[in-house]
Amino acid sequence: METRKIQKTGGSTYVVSLPKRWVQTSGLKKGDQVALSVTGDGTLTVDPHLPRESEKLVKTVEVTAATESKTLLRQLVGSYVTGYDVIEIRSKGRIPFELRRAVQDFARRVIGPEIVEESANLIVLQDVADHADLDMRKVVRRMHLMAKNMLEESVRAVKELDKGMADEVVSRDDEVDRLHWFVEKQHAMMRRNISFAAKMKTTWLESDSMLLASKALERIADHATRIARSVGLLGDSRVDGDTMRALEQLGEEAVSILDRSVEALFKRDSSLANNCIERTSVLLVKADAFLDETMKKRGRVAVGLAFVIESIERTGGYSSDIAEIAINLAEGQ
- How much is the pTM? 0.81
- The CATH classification of domain 58-131, taken from the options 3.30.450.20, 3.40.50.1370, 1.10.600.10, 3.30.110.20: 3.30.110.20
The predicted structure's pLDDT at residue 188 = 87
Q: Are 80 and 243 in contact (CB under 8 A)?
A: no
Q: Would you call 7 helix, strand, or coil by DSSP?
A: strand
Q: Would you call 140 helix, strand, or coil by DSSP?
A: helix
The predicted structure's pLDDT at residue 41 = 60
**Integer CA distances (angstroms), 197 to 135, 174, 209, 325, in order:** 11, 27, 14, 20
Tens digit of pLDDT for each residue in 258-278? 999 999 999 999 999 999 999
Q: Would you call 100 helix, strand, or coil by DSSP?
A: helix
The chain-wide mean pLDDT, for the chain, equals 89
Would you list the domain boundaries of the chain? 7-47, 58-131, 132-332
The predicted structure's pLDDT at residue 74 = 95
List, for the chain, all residue ranges whose pLDDT scores fall below the cut of 70.
11, 37-42, 49-55, 193-195, 197-198, 298, 333
Segments in 82-172 forming alpha helices (H):
97-109, 136-160, 163-171
Tens digit of pLDDT for each residue in 199-249? 777 788 888 999 999 999 999 999 999 999 999 888 877 778 888 899 999
The predicted structure's pLDDT at residue 52 = 52
Q: Are 184 and 26 in contact (CB under 8 A)?
A: no
The predicted structure's pLDDT at residue 194 = 64
CATH of domain 132-332: 1.20.58.220
Query: In terms of DSSP bridges, do strands 58-62 and 35-38 run parallel, antiparallel, or are they unpaired?
Result: unpaired
Instruction: Read off the DSSP letter of residue 42.
Output: S
The predicted structure's pLDDT at residue 23 = 82
